[in-house]
Amino acid sequence: MKLTYFPVMAKGLATALLLEHSNLEWESNIVVGDGWSELKGSGKCPFGQVPILETEGGFVVAHAVAIALHVGRTSMVFNGASIKVRTLYGFLFCISLYSF
């Protein structure tokens, strides 16, 4: 999986932390400078914004909360120990703190 975001601690941070906490293989794609206008113009971002998560199947998930839920489901965090479920909810709450 590939998470694309800017080099700032905002919407992409909680999703990156959640991916790191999961058992999934993932890579970070940091967009800087002209890279953003190129990516935005490419139409790859469904809502013209980041973060986006590209899955193995080529599907692109947009919006931080949707990405967190996708990661939670895919990594079976929901089926794990309650501490992991609480951790996922913590990440969701963290995302909600800085707007939608």
Ligand X SMILES: N[C@@H](CCC(=O)N[C@@H](CS)C(=O)NCC(=O)O)C(=O)O
Residue 77 touching ligand X (CB under 6 A): no
Cβ nearer to ligand X, comparing 10 with 17: 10
Residue whose beta carbon is closest to ligand X: 49
Sign of the CA dihedral 63, 19, 45, 54? negative
Residue 49 touching ligand X (CB under 6 A): yes
Choose which of 1, 10, 16, 94 interacts with ligand X (CB under 6 A). 10
Check if the beta carbon of residue 22 is closer than 8 Å to that of residue 71. yes
Residue 64 touching ligand X (CB under 6 A): yes
Joined together, the tokens standing for residue 89 give 């909810």
Residue 70 touching ligand X (CB under 6 A): no
Cis peptide upstream of residue 7 (ω within 30 degrees of 0): no
